[in-house]
């Protein structure tokens, strides 16, 4: 495990151009664990709310996974998220449901995918809802035999 001395050596070896970036990164670790920026905390809360909704639907909740990443947020951490995403997946009966939220320049796309195997076919359906509620839906059937 690296020591403070190792960290000091690493910092001392940084090129001058990297000092500001290193300072910004390290300043976030003054409190452990580091607090989430407000917009990331909002995403976390939305994610947890959705998990509870799925669990409350009763016996159809069979499993779940999650993931996401924030590619860019403003330095002031108070303006809207510029880009990033989070994904929540769960099983609803015999259907895998994957819900994704993508953010670009403060705008959200909500994507819900449903994947089901039935009668020798894989049924794939996705619904995309974007700004101002514009919505698109597609179904694709793949033969498995």
User: CA–CA separation, 111 vs 137, rounded Å?
Assistant: 10
What is the extent of the structural domain holding 17?
Answer: 1-35
List pLDDT tens digits, range 45-92: 776 777 677 667 654 444 444 555 555 555 555 555 567 777 878 788
Q: How many CB atoms lie within 10 A of CB 92?
A: 14
Q: Are 66 and 101 within one domain?
A: yes
Rounded CA Rg of the chain: 21
Q: Are 49 and 31 within one domain?
A: no
Global model pTM greater than 0.85: no
Q: Are 76 and 15 within one domain?
A: no
Q: Are 137 and 120 within one domain?
A: yes
> Which parts of the chain fold into alpha helices (H)?
4-12, 19-27, 38-56
Pseudo-torsion of CA 34, 36, 38, 43, nearest 10°? -170
């Amino acid at each position: 495990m690296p020591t403070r001395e190792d960290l000091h050596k690493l910092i001392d070896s940084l090129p001058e151009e990297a000092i500001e970036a290193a300072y910004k990164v390290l300043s976030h670790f003054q409190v452990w664990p580091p607090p989430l920026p407000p917009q990331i905390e909002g995403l976390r809360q939305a994610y947890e709310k959705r998990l509870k909704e799925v669990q409350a639907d009763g016996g159809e909740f069979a499993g779940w996974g999650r993931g996401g990443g924030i590619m860019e947020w403003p330095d002031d951490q108070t303006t809207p998220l510029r880009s990033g995403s989070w994904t929540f997946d769960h099983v609803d009966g015999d259907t895998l449901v994957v819900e994704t939220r993508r953010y670009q320049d403060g705008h959200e796309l909500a994507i819900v995918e449903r994947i089901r195997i039935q009668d020798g076919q894989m049924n794939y359906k996705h619904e995309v809802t974007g700004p101002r509620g514009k919505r698109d839906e597609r179904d694709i059937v793949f033969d498995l035999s």
